[in-house]
Amino acid sequence: MRIAHVSDLHITGTKFVEKWGENLIKKLNEMEPDIVVITGDLTDDGYEHEYEIVREYLNRIESKKIVVPGNHDARNKGYEIFEEVFGTRYPFYEDSKVAILGIDSSEPDLDDGHIGRENYSTIEEKLGGKNKIRILALHHHLIPIPGTGRERNIPIDAGDVLQLCKNLELNFVLSGHKHLPWIWKLEKTYYITAGTATSRRLKGKSYPSFNVIELNEKTIIKEINVANGNERIVREV
């Protein structure tokens, strides 16, 4: 099974690079992932006209998609438009091999994150006690990312959610937000942050990228450079 993890497209922003956007669609359609998980910040300001552009863009990706909003998408009551476009801010996908739950960690017109105790039972219900790969997807990272400056935007209940992930022994937690790819392993869970895939909102000399998780006899996590198509294996699990 192949899962593509894409984040922080900023399709409607001034730093969006059209060539990188085209490269992303081409690469995804060529590799035919079983599902594409998009962890937020598709827009820059959450306006309705921005979501129209986003919808048209994402419709060109042929694979199934799970999409959660980011802090930029929640601006200007954009979280309401998000639900109109995507149906829910809490998508769930399950088959014989994997269960993936998306959670909205955004706060209206704030960059800070928050999962909320009211959602913990949903995480337990959807991802607990299953003999398959279990994945939680949200925009905000739960653990600080090195080299990204003073940390201000980790979800305010990150500690409680980390405890929940530990108790459930989740396989992966996917996030974005910091525009720099990174992987932490805590207990039995891999916390994977994707970089920005299609914008120049890059950290230092990093490049636009997205992640691919190959679930076979051995799990392989790859990073795909959207600018030139180069691939590199970043972790074998």
Beta bridge partner(s), residue 68:
39
Element (H, E) at 206: none
Q: What is the pLDDT of residues 41-97, one digit of tens each?
A: 999 999 999 999 999 999 999 999 999 999 999 999 999 999 999 999 999 999 999
The reported pLDDT for the residue numbered 165 is 98
Give the whole-angstrom CA distance, residue 63 versus residue 147. Answer: 33
pTM for the model:
0.96
pLDDT at 182 over 90: yes
Answer whether residue 149 shows pLDDT above 80.
no
One-letter amino acid for residue 160 of the chain: D
Residue 153, pLDDT score = 78
Mean pLDDT, rounded, for 185-203: 97
Given this model, what pLDDT does residue 167 score?
97
Sorting pLDDT into bands at 50, 70 and 90, what band is 151?
confident
Report percent pLDDT > 90 for the chain: 93
Q: What is the pLDDT of residue 228?
A: 96
Q: What confidence category does residue 237 fall into, taking pLDDT thresholds of 50, 70 and 90? A: confident
Provide the pLDDT for residue 210. Answer: 98
Identify the residue with better confidence: 101 or 147. 101
What is the model's pLDDT at position 96?
93
Supply angle C-alpha 58, 86, 70, rounded to 5. Answer: 80
Which residue do the tokens 């998408």 mark?
73
Domains and CATH numbers, the chain: 2-236 (3.60.21.10)
Residue 170: pLDDT band with limits 50, 70, 90:
very high
Q: How many angstroms separate the CA atoms of 25 and 57, rounded?
A: 9
pLDDT digits (tens, 9 = 90+) for 101-126: 999 999 999 898 999 999 999 999 99
> pLDDT for 198-217, tens place per residue?
999 999 999 999 999 999 88
pLDDT (0 to 100) of residue 150: 74
pLDDT category, 135, cuts 50, 70, 90? very high
pLDDT given at position 148: 85
What 3-state class would DSSP assign to 115?
A: coil
What is the spatial distance between Cα 20 and Cα 225, in angstroms, rounded to a whole number?
9
Report the helix count and the strand count for the chain, using DSSP H and E: 5, 14
Provide the percentage of residues in the chain whose pLDDT is more than 70: 100
